[in-house]
Structure 1
Amino acid sequence: MGGDSTQFSAAGITRRIRDGELSPVEVVEDHLEGIRERNERTNAFVTVAEESAREAAVEAERAIEDGEPLPPLHGVPVAVKDIDDVAGVETTHGSRLLEDRVADADAAYVARLKAAGAIVVGKTNAPEFGVGTTTDNRVAGPTSTPFDLDRTAGGSSGGAGAALADRLVPLAPGSDTGGSIRIPASACGVYGHKPTYGLVPNVDRPNAFASHTPFYHVGPMTRTVDDAALALTAMAGPHRDDPHSVPATDDYLAAVDRPIDDLRIAYSPDLGIYPLEPAVRETIDDAVGALERAGATVDAVDPRLAHDREEILEAFYTMATVRWQATLDDLEDRGFDPRDEDRDRLHHAFVETVLDAEPPTVRELTRADVVRSRVFDDLQDCFEEYDLIASATLATTPFPHGEPPETIDGVDVGPRRGWVLTQPYNLTGHPAASVPAGFVDGLPVGLQLAGERFGDADVLAASAALERRRPWIDRYPT
């Protein structure tokens, strides 16, 4: 029956394909049909690669008929964020400057997912050049959370979060420089895992070292923790063209089934420095209580960060501005003039955030690195005693398009990033995930779980334990 396979997880799809209950052709057609019927609701996809997806599905079916060994994601549909390349498919970066660009090669993690048997069915929406905590651009427009179509899906991987929550695909990786996996995961009620920095390679050229300012991560976004472990296993590991890539040392699939009786969790809903909406705090309290009932030791402990949220955000912006200015330089190398003649073709949010930003001095960048070092040391001190730090992912629930909060619980915050608790872990490179924690007035809330560097297995284990205690798979809109 058409559409049935859209209800399954990635692990469920590949298992049924191996058992002969589903064919890759049927699975791809089901998901393409779902995209045709429902994408208009959320605007999750900006490009649908129907022809190439069907061709890949036929090849996957032929491999089964020929008795070939099947890779772990054989026949699983995957969506790729529109700032990452898929060979032969448009990659616009959400910008009118690049709306006709077609990639000639796969991004490193895309190549690994394809090698693992996944089939790319299209590209998901993102803000222009991935800059933003919500998803809107002048090419495709805004993306909504399926829980309320008038509200944001978050960003910058908002299209991925919406596609997952609306069951358009079971796997949609995201990228994360300041929360871009975890923010939409929280806003769309899905699971988003930002791995340890370097665990999933990023082959960046012409600057191979660009991803450390601030730490840029690629990681899985899924509806189940098991699927995230499956995808991370396929994506992780060293790459000869990424000088920051590191080995994958853990069995992520085994971590999903691991008991958490030995885990110690430091619980700080606001990380000691962020305001939270009271209802969000209550929801997070409840979710952490479920982790304690699952066997973990939970203590109310603030990580005692030496810097407040404004200082951390200023350090983040200093580093991010360096990265964003490099984006402008790259556009100029491509023949555009974003700082002058092409300025009017850019989204106003990109102009305000990037073009109007004063490039930092060397001294300012050095000072930002000092702040970064202190935050890292403070978190490491906490990880001396605890395996994980639990907090809210966002200070609020998804808000109406174009109306970010200016105050949280009576405290003035910056509307662009003052409502997110994700930046510290982009300064330090620790793994961090957003786990569906519950709902406030029908809108999803995410619990952020962060671990020691290379502690991804602990993050996955705790996430899966929460999923077993409080399953969320049947809470998505239909």
Structure 2
Amino acid sequence: MAYSPDLDVFPVDRRIAEAVRRALLAFEEAGAHVEEVKLGITRSQRELSDVWSRLYMLLNLQAIENMKRDGIDLFGQHRDDFPPEYLDWVEKTKRMSGPDFFRDQAVRSEVYDAFQNVLDKFDLLVTPTLACPPVDNAGDGNTIGPKAINGVDIDPLIGWCLTYFVNFTGHPAASIPAGLSDGLPVGMQIIGRRNADFDVLAASAAFERLRPWQDIYRICRERPLKA
């Protein structure tokens, strides 16, 4: 098993990093070889989150145009229902050129190659799921993450999510409970080789046997609901 604490580029809160390292001990105790690795990703985390946002928004715009063609004009009739950050990316993406699109696809390929190089040598790649503890829900319904972690500026939309790299690559992945930090849940992401979904599920099931997480659900059951 390969272990990357930050996918080379993410600032990760110390409490999250420690919780995931403790969780990895379960695999080592069960006989797995776990080795910390570098993927060789050299782009900045902010550049990569911008690439993801543009590529994601292109798919959104295509869907919204198809709905408009069928008589549902979301931007015309419901524009105020969209978060301002979403609308900002709509306008940025509309200004993209053809060469911009292909440059973003080249960056996506770099991330794919980095994952492939690691998974050519290892069966699985393990990372934190998120780079920070859970965030409070916003009162206006527009919840975003922190603007900085460990003093490093990040995109508050997805710059704290180590999961979006697999949107670039298409590798199977699962996020499983790694334990608690300050009474709050921490996730561990398990990534497998292309089409090796079974390996990801098997590793997730093995971890659940080694570190059962069912009792953690009581935190949700016992938490009072605000009216």
TM class by shorter chain equals 0.7 to 0.9
In structure 2, how many angstroms separate the alpha carbons of the residues matched to 1:288 and 1:370? 33
Q: Root-mean-square deviation (CA), in Å? A: 1.7
SS in 2 for 1:367: helix
Matched residue, 1:416? 157
Matched residue, 1:462? 203
The one-letter code of the counterpart of 2:83 is H
In structure 1, how many angstroms separate the alpha carbons of the residues matched to 2:170 and 2:88? 23
In structure 1, how many angstroms separate the alpha carbons of the residues matched to 2:114 and 2:76? 42
In structure 1, how many angstroms separate the alpha carbons of the residues matched to 2:86 and 2:204? 38
In structure 1, how many angstroms separate the alpha carbons of the residues matched to 2:153 and 2:84? 20
Render the CA deviation track for 1:95-149: whole Å, top value 9, x for unaligned. Answer: xxxxxxxxxxxxxxxxxxxxxxxxxxxxxxxxxxxxxxxxxxxxxxxxxxxxxxx
In structure 1, how many angstroms separate the alpha carbons of the residues matched to 2:50 and 2:86? 18
Q: CA deviation at 1:353?
A: 4.8
Matched residue, 1:278? 14
Which stretch of the first structure deviates more once superposed, 294-303 or 394-403? 394-403
SS in 2 for 1:276: coil
1:377 matched to 2:140? no
Q: Go from structure 1 to structure 2 and tell me whether the alpha carbon gap of 1:351 and 1:419 turns closer, same or farther (over 3 Å shift).
A: closer
Runs of 4+ with >6 A deviation: none
Alpha-carbon contact 1:307-1:375 (below 8 Å) kept: no
Alpha-carbon contact 1:270-1:392 (below 8 Å) kept: yes
Largest Rg, 1 or 2: 1
User: 1 or 2 for the larger relative contact order (CA 8 Å, sep ≥6)?
Assistant: 2
Matched residue, 1:399? 135
TM-score (structure 1 length as normaliser): 0.43
Matched residue, 1:323? 59
Matched residue, 1:430? 171
Kindly, what percent of the aligned residue pairs are identical?
Answer: 38
SS in 2 for 1:464: helix
Render the CA deviation track for 1:215-269: whole Å, top value 9, x for unaligned. Answer: xxxxxxxxxxxxxxxxxxxxxxxxxxxxxxxxxxxxxxxxxxxxxxxxxx11111
In structure 2, how many angstroms separate the alpha carbons of the residues matched to 1:423 and 1:467? 24
SS in 1 for 2:215: coil
The one-letter code of the counterpart of 1:272 is D
Matched residue, 1:252? none
How many pairs does the alignment contain? 213
Q: CA deviation at 1:354?
A: 4.8
Q: Which of 50, 55, 76 is the aligned partner of 1:314?
A: 50
1:298 matched to 2:34? yes
The one-letter code of the counterpart of 2:10 is Y
Q: Which has the higher helix share?
A: 2
In structure 1, how many angstroms separate the alpha carbons of the residues matched to 2:134 and 2:203? 25
Matched residue, 2:69? 333
Alpha-carbon contact 1:306-1:374 (below 8 Å) kept: no
In structure 2, how many angstroms separate the alpha carbons of the residues matched to 1:351 and 1:367? 22
Q: CA deviation at 1:439?
A: 0.6
Q: Which of 120, 123, 132 is the aligned partner of 1:387?
A: 123
In structure 2, how many angstroms separate the alpha carbons of the residues matched to 1:393 and 1:475? 18
Q: Go from structure 1 to structure 2 and tell me whether the alpha carbon gap of 1:473 and 1:341 turns closer, same or farther (over 3 Å shift).
A: closer
TM-score (structure 2 length as normaliser): 0.87
| Unaligned ranges ≥5, structure 1 | 1-264
Correspondence 1:19-418 to 2 at 5 A:
265-344=1-80, 346-349=81-84, 351-359=86-94, 360-402=96-138, 404-418=145-159
Matched residue, 1:442? 183
In structure 2, how many angstroms separate the alpha carbons of the residues matched to 1:426 and 1:449? 14
Q: Go from structure 1 to structure 2 and tell me whether the alpha carbon gap of 1:282 and 1:340 turns closer, same or farther (over 3 Å shift).
A: same
| Unaligned ranges ≥5, structure 2 | 139-143, 222-227
